[in-house]
Structure 1
Amino acid sequence: MARFIKNMDTVLGNPPGSLVFLGKQRVENIKISTIEYDVENVREYIDDINLDFNSQQRGVKWINVDGIHDTEEVSRIGKAFNLSPLVLEDILNTSQRPKLEELDESVFISLKMLYFSEDKRTVTAEQMSMVFGNNFVLTFQERPGDVFGSVRLRIRKGRGRIRKMGEDYLAYSLLDAIFENYIRMIEFIGEQIESLEEHVLVADDPDVLEKISYYRRELRYIRKVVRPAREIVSSFLRLDDDYVSDEIKPFLRDLAELSDQAMEAVEVYREMLSDYLGIYNSAVSNRLNEVMKVLTVFSTIFIPVTFLAGVYGMNFDFIPELKLQYAYPLFWVVVVCVVLVMLKFYRNKKWI
């Protein structure tokens, strides 16, 4: 399956709002985990089948769903939170472009989480969809395992201000964890890109071009994820006060700077790879020029020598010097003198 776009054959011809899973099934069964918290208490439970939710309840309720291939289960969860079929369609579409959409009573966010596959040696992405509203945050992931471990730890330990704040701060914290992971992923790829420099300059590694092509491909994939994700932060800042309190806007501005940093890092490394490619090609050309220069010098030196050998190799009886006793050593003296004179001439011209 293509990395940059998914096969759309399964959804072609369906009316808008049709609940069709588009992507690769990554888990056998859907797993639902819930964290309810306020300033004083935290409660966690797994596979909660009771999704009745009172928006007037105290504290924040975070429901995380691992696995989105079961359309009936996703539809049941969506109905419990009054999500429209169009939103559910976006959740089930794992090739959905990162976006933020303001709904009637909540906000929908869809973006990618990045991972590095050790087996395939490639950057992979998993879609994360989020809906947050009055005292609740709902997240959908393709499989268990995410970048939210630090957020869960802060909730459990009561660290920072997260348990004192509302659902908008939790939504910000989840986005912040995703963008920090973007930075770590870019740094990981960047360290390998920077290590190419010494190989590029000497142009003695035949795999350099393949490595440059590999890193350019991975950066294009990361850029495809990070660039639209940056737009989400700007849209988040422009949300109505009903969804975003003034208290978290400074944090969102800091998140906007983090998103800019991620995008700038991607562009810097893309330019470095372009420079590396140019430097490598120049180094190869210079190396080839040096080889050609040596070959040319040898060729030009042997041109007069070949001429002399050709003249005295002709089958004529009356060629001068052939009957002399020292004709053969004299011939070599002439050849050596010609070579030395030509070498001195090339050196004076600074050609060698």
Structure 2
Amino acid sequence: MAEHEDERRHWDYHYDEIGTAPGTLVIEEDASPPELTLIDYTASSAIRRELKTPEDCKPFLKSHSISWIDFQGLGNEPMLRHLGEVFKLHPLVLEDVVNVPQRPKVEYYDDQLVIIARMVMPKPSEAGNEAGFINEQVSFVLGPNYLLTVQEELDIDCFDPVRNRIRFNQGTIRAQGADYLAYTLLDTIMDAYFPVLEDYGELIESLEDEVIFNPTRQTVQRIYQVRRDLMGLRRSIWPQRNAISTLIRDSSDLIRPEVKVYLQDCYDHAVQVLDIVETYRELTANLMDVYLSSVSNRMNEVMKTLTVISSIFIPLTFIVGVYGMNFNPQVSPWNMPELDAYWGYPICWAVMIAIALGLTTYFWRKGWFESLSRSLPER
């Protein structure tokens, strides 16, 4: 139950309580303590260091290098408010960053661009676990020469490849600006959806075999859980696609035209992810229909089997019922001569066996037994 409540909290968007003042911060009780990391780089050098307070970020906000400030963990409200003061964040921006989850979106504030995104990653594989994923909100605050990212949890992200590209000067990332860094992180977030979808694709294939050959009540529960997860992914990727489209379409001095070309590729990835999610949702809907049809067919075959057995024994029951009425032929005006016949009992058995064999032969020639044998599931 607690696990389902935690999933619901991550996928239901945040709504303020009635009458809450704008800019009110709501910190979850289980929020991780924050850590602040700086990666500052130019085309020729790069440094990475741990910062103790947001105040340590000030020298890098107006430097000529590109600074990536990564704030992980939302468990310290005074530190978050100090972060908002250092970066001059609008109170509504700080509210969107802290009060998670928010709907993915893009907002413009003077010399800052705010991007809210959703990041998903596969859950660590454990024996017996179904496909699943970890999801969290990542907030971007893009400035002229810096990028602030705020994450919900510690050490749970998909940005290590980007960090390594900066560290080892791979590609052109260190020769680009902060807008290219923001694109790179967004593109990494979109790429992280594909391993999650691959896990669900394999799970759906296994569910198809289970639905056909061995459907159980647990099968319905697993199909429902997959549909629920896919609905959550759709609710995440749909507004995220629109947010990326907004970055491409709108004019902003913080994003150069050459970076918008790369964002178009990121948008294509979002469309591809959305197409896969929609396809999987249709497959799970079809699986539910197949399950119901399979259960109905199994019930029909059971009823057919019972009908065949009943059809064979009904005439036999009629015969023994007639001769089981125990009328005394000496008292009744109607005589049952078979009761006094010497071979009456074996003749009765012979007639009943003949009727049973005759009906069995008739049903066999009609193909009923063959259809019953075909309907049995392979184990």
Aligned positions, number: 349
CA drift of 1:345 comes to 3.2
**Distance in 1 separating the partners of 2:161 and 2:116:** 20
CA contact (8 A) 1:6 1:22 kept: no
Mark the CA change 1:144 to 1:54 in structure 2 (over 3 Å): closer, same or farther: closer
Structure 1, unmatched stretches of 5+, are none
CA drift of 1:8 comes to 5.5
CA drift of 1:255 comes to 0.6
Computed over aligned residues only, the root mean square deviation of the Cα atoms, in angstroms, reads 2.1
**Distance in 2 separating the partners of 1:299 and 1:217:** 44
- Overall identity of the aligned pairs, in %: 36
1:333 aligns with 2:333: no
CA shift digits 1:33-92 (9 cap, x unpaired): 001101001011101542224655322100011122322222222222221111111111
1:229 aligns with 2:251: no
Q: 1:186 aligns with which of 186, 197, 207?
A: 197
Task: State the partner residue of 1:113.
Answer: 119
Task: State the partner residue of 2:133.
Answer: 123
1:346 aligns with 2:363: yes
TM-score normalised by length of structure 2:
0.86
Task: State the partner residue of 2:32.
Answer: 27
Task: State the partner residue of 2:332.
Answer: none
TM-score normalised by length of structure 1:
0.92
Q: Which moved more, 1:146-155 or 1:116-125?
A: 116-125
CA contact (8 A) 2:60 2:67 kept: no
Q: Secondary structure at the match of 1:32?
A: strand
**Distance in 2 separating the partners of 1:204 and 1:328:** 48
Structure 2, unmatched stretches of 5+, are 330-335, 370-379
Q: Secondary structure at the match of 2:100?
A: coil
1:15 aligns with 2:21: yes
CA contact (8 A) 1:203 1:284 kept: no
CA shift digits 1:95-145 (9 cap, x unpaired): 211111111101101122224455896534211111011010001112212
Amino acid of the structure 2 residue aligned with 1:239: D
**Distance in 1 separating the partners of 2:158 and 2:220:** 33
Mark the CA change 1:48 to 1:234 in structure 2 (over 3 Å): closer, same or farther: same
Q: 1:256 aligns with which of 254, 259, 267?
A: 267
CA contact (8 A) 1:132 1:171 kept: yes
Q: Secondary structure at the match of 1:321?
A: helix
Mark the CA change 1:204 to 1:21 in structure 2 (over 3 Å): closer, same or farther: closer
**Distance in 1 separating the partners of 2:302 and 2:118:** 50
Task: State the partner residue of 1:313.
Answer: 324
CA shift digits 1:279-320 (9 cap, x unpaired): 111111111111110100111111111111011112123212
Greater share of helix residues, 1 or 2?
2
Q: Secondary structure at the match of 2:192?
A: helix
Amino acid of the structure 2 residue aligned with 1:340: L
**Distance in 1 separating the partners of 2:104 and 2:159:** 18
**Distance in 2 separating the partners of 1:255 and 1:7:** 26
Q: Which moved more, 1:235-244 or 1:97-106?
A: 235-244
**Distance in 2 separating the partners of 1:25 and 1:209:** 33
**Distance in 1 separating the partners of 2:227 and 2:207:** 13
CA contact (8 A) 1:128 1:140 kept: yes
1:87 aligns with 2:87: no
**Distance in 2 separating the partners of 1:53 and 1:209:** 57
